[in-house]
Amino acid sequence: MHDDDAARRHSPLPGLRPGENITYPVREPTGQMPEDDAVEATRRYLAGKGKGFTFRPREVYDDLFRITGRTAAWVRSLALPALAGQGGLSYDQFNGTYTVTGTIDSLPRAVIVDLKDTGDGQTVAIVPPWALPEPADTDPEVSIGLTPLTTSDVNEVLRWATQITSDIGDPDAVITNAEPIIAWLKDGAERGDLPTRLMAAKRTYTNDSNSNREPDDDPTAFLMRAAAYYTVLHDTL
């Protein structure tokens, strides 16, 4: 081997000096969208991938950053859980993947009400239950098999509402806090997923009791916690 060939093999790449650091350009977004707009843009992007598209969150970070200006953490902890909470995505907890469902095209615009701490240092987006897609018209013959809301269920709701009511001696206050929960369960009866919603609400009540949560007269917050459990139960059962 000639000496000049050996020298070329060990010389730095053109344009680089020995010891010079290699840097990569920072991905600059075109502008950061407001959260609700960014979730809607994420929905449109994933809808364009088509039903059955399965992905890990990191596989869509770059595209969504360019579209929404939002970070990977935002996509992972807010946008994707928000769409899953509406039924537009299904989540495989074992594999850590999301799959686009057939309902993603018909979802109403997501409304991000709050971020909730999951207890493990992460936050997740909570979409209120009333932002779920409207139920399709059901054939009367099919609806006979749907589980109805019973008096016993309503009594359970009053127990849950009592827990979040600051003045439990005021029946009107308890009933006021119970009404949104009853409405959510009635919607579940029409959709055919009442048992899953009942399980989610019972889990919320149990965990609130065990954590000694203070009454806050906020049934919407109760429902947002229940919606988080509902998403897990719905995707697992």
pLDDT at 147: 60
pLDDT for res 223: 87
Could you tell me the mean pLDDT of each successive run of 10 residues in the chain, 237 residues long? Answer: 50 48 49 82 90 92 90 83 80 84 75 46 45 41 54 90 92 90 85 86 90 89 87 72
Residues 64 and 75: beta-carbon distance below 8 Å? yes
CB 206 within 8 A of CB 178: no
pTM for this predicted structure = 0.43
pLDDT in the model for residue 215: 92
Amino acid at 179: E
- Letter for the amino acid at 135? P
Number of separate helices (H) and strands (E) present in the chain? 10, 5
Is the domain spanning 35-131 CATH 2.60.40? The answer is: no
Give the Cα separation of 181 and 198 in Å (integer): 10
pLDDT computed for residue 142 by the predictor: 35
Instruction: Give the domain ranges of the chain.
Output: 35-131, 140-236
Phi-psi label, residue 16: left if phi above 0, alpha if psi -120 to 50, beta otherwise: beta
Between the alpha carbon of residue 33 and those of residues 36, 133, 155, the distances in Å are 8, 23, 44
Q: What is the 3-state secondary structure (H, E, C) of 170-213?
A: CHHHHHHHHHHHHHHHHHHHHHCCHHHHHHHHHHHHHHHHHCCC
Q: Six-digit token pair at 68?
A: 């929404």
Q: Give residues with Cβ within 8 angstroms of 179, minimum separation 6.
A: 219
Angle 147-90-42 from CA coordinates, rounded to 5°: 125
d(CA 213, CA 191): 31
Which pLDDT belongs to residue 26? Answer: 47
Is the Cβ–Cβ distance between 202 and 225 less than 8 Å? no
